[in-house]
Amino acid sequence: MTAQKQAEPQAPKPAARSTEKGGRKPWKKKTPTAVVLEQIDRLRDDVTKKEDELKQAKKQLQKLEEVRKVLEST
């Protein structure tokens, strides 16, 4: 004898509504051009952010190098 699984009744999933608060926005098909332009904007923002982080790291390195010179001279 084999055990038979009884199918559990599942409640139907509620449909996502765009009109209610917290609901999903309706999906809008994007053209390939729009997708590429969004990627360019995201990448430009990412590069800007990383350049700022690099500037901060360079300043910190410069300060630590100055401290190193002081420590080595004494």
Domain range spanning residue 61? 30-74
Q: What is the pLDDT of residues 13-46, one digit of tens each?
A: 655 555 567 788 898 899 999 999 999 999 999 9
Pair 24, 18: CB distance under 8 Å: yes
Domain count, the chain: 1
Does the residue 2 lie in any domain?
Answer: no
Spatial separation of the C-alpha atoms in residues 36 and 2, rounded to whole Å: 55
Does the residue 20 lie in any domain?
Answer: no
Does the residue 13 lie in any domain?
Answer: no
pTM beyond 0.85, yes or no: no
Q: What is the pLDDT of residues 50-61, one digit of tens each?
A: 999 999 999 999
Does the residue 38 lie in any domain?
Answer: yes
Spatial separation of the C-alpha atoms in residues 54 and 60, rounded to whole Å: 10
